[in-house]
Amino acid sequence: MSEMLDKKEIDKLASSFRESRILLSAVELDLFTTLDGKLLTSKTIAEELNADESSLEILLNALCALGLLKKSKNKYFCAETASRYLSRKSGDYMANLRHTANQWRRWNNLTGIVKNGRGAVTLSGNEADREEFIAAMHYRAKPQADIISYMIDLSGVRKMLDIGGGSGAFSYAFMKRNPELKSVILDLPEIIPITKRYASEEQMTERTEFIEGDFLTADFGKNYDMVFISSIIHMNGSGQNKLLIKKSAEALAPNGFIVIRDWAMNDNLTEPPEAALFSVNMLVSTKEGRNYSEREIEEWFDNAGVRRTEKKETGFGPSLYIGFK
């Protein structure tokens, strides 16, 4: 985006919600799965989705305008892109979009939150929200985890703690890279049953232990060669992260190390742009979360007695911050 926006660019920015809302409503309706491999009239689609036909037809035509659907002789079918990425029948299905639809509802409260402060928000939500959140995190994490498994020296790691591990995607990738590695995944009691299902699907149950609890109060255990903390610090307040890193350092074996995978910003907290925007997502979704600067991360490491740190760029947004005991 240029330094100086003209009126047309500002107007486009302000109205860009339209395309997003059209797509997300179609995702929530599971429209693309319904249409995948079929050629259907709006009447038939409305019957299958239990929707109002006249309203649905307007949405269908808009999706054609966006290039996600095609229309021929008053019948609709999925464009190739939609069949590949937006249908649940596809192996490339973008499972993260249902979570994005949930985020929309939180973002709608932004003005009130800025005026009145954060309410008692939670990321856990109901069972469906939790499933969609973990599915979204797994979808994003799995391809990155394979790459990151090469970026971390796992040769001496026999036991790791995966804090807020969610689906366990990073643990499974690391265990595949190192056959002698076992992982302990810590997450909230309402998340761990979902984690266990993913572990079973990955055939990693025998090499994985689980701790149900909140990192603020849970007993981490001892003698971990690595503590891995991915996409967690941005959900917390600074004081919570200070405690988290200190507890993590205390749980390490001699010569163990902590890996933080997350966004880090400049001291002005304005760059990179993606991280600044993501901080707003934490504003509307958490009680204290935001993205933090590299300097703040270094301060948490120093407070925990970490003797040496290094940073590794991943090439896909969040960086790795490694602190050695």
Which tens digit of pLDDT belongs to each residue from 110-121?
999 999 888 645
- The ranges assigned to domains in the chain are 7-92, 127-324
Determine the average pLDDT of the residues in 268-291.
95
Topology of the domain comprising 127-324: Rossmann fold (3.40.50)
CATH class of 7-92: mainly alpha
Q: Give the whole-angstrom CA distance, residue 23 versus residue 257.
A: 42
Q: Is the pLDDT of residue 178 over 90?
A: yes
Q: What integer pLDDT is reported at residue 30 of this predicted model?
A: 97
Our measurement of the distance from residue 175's CA atom to the centroid of its chain's CA atoms, rounded to an integer in Å, reads: 21
Determine the average pLDDT of the residues in 196-204.
97
Asked about 234 being catalytic, the answer comes back as yes
Q: What integer pLDDT is reported at residue 240 of this predicted model?
A: 97
**Cβ atoms within 10 Å, residue 87:** 20
Query: Which one of 99, 234, 261, 290 is the catalytic residue?
Result: 234
Q: Is the pLDDT of residue 123 over 60?
A: no
Region of residue 217 (left: phi > 0; alpha: psi -120 to 50; beta: else): alpha
Q: Give the whole-angstrom CA distance, residue 191 versus residue 202.
A: 17
Digit-coded pLDDT (tens) for 282-293: 999 999 999 999
In the structure, what pLDDT confidence band is assigned to residue 129 with cuts at 50, 70 and 90? confident
